[in-house]
Amino acid sequence: DAGVIQSPRHEVTEMGQEVTLRCKPISGHNSLFWYRQTMMRGLELLIYFNNNVPIDDSGMPEDRFSAKMPNASFSTLKIQPSEPRDSAVYFCASSFTFHEQFFGPGTRLTVL
């Protein structure tokens, strides 16, 4: 099993640019979670999906952030336009509903 796959692993972009982060969950898992981790705010849940349907997006910081899950094997988190305060490590995790989550390696985003 390849585990949760995230791409890219590192992204450096300039303020105002669009950023798209990608996640492939573990095959067979039906829940997917997007997190953001910073030194100041710790680990924050941004949004999560169950059976490809967004359940709770209350953690999404503002309208510049959007997430989609078009099918069971792929999800994206998009930031448009990006700002320096969006710099963080973004994690994707997947699970069977109500079971432990498996985390991807993360995408380190730097917005200059």
Note the residues at the interface with other proteins (CB under 8 A): 31, 33, 42-43, 45, 48, 50, 55-56, 91, 93, 95-106
- Least gap, CB of 86 to other proteins (angstroms): 19
Whose CA is closest to 60, among 74, 79, 41, 73? 79
Shortest Å, Cβ 30 to other proteins: 9
With respect to other proteins, which residue has the nearer C-beta, 57 or 81?
57
Buried b (16+ CB within 10 A) or exposed e, 29-39: bebbbbbbeee
- Residue 5: count other Cβ atoms within 10 Å of its Cβ: 15
Which C-beta is closer to other proteins: that of 45 or that of 72?
45
Nearest to 21 by CA among 7, 41, 32: 7
Name the minimum Å distance from CB 14 to other proteins.
Answer: 24
Q: Which CB sits closer to other proteins, 71 or 97? A: 97
- Look-up: residue for tokens 């992204």? 11
Rounded to a whole number of angstroms, the minimum distance from the CB of residue 61 to other proteins is 18
Residue number, 58 or 71, with CB nearest to other proteins: 58
Contact between 23 and 34 (Cβ < 8 Å): yes
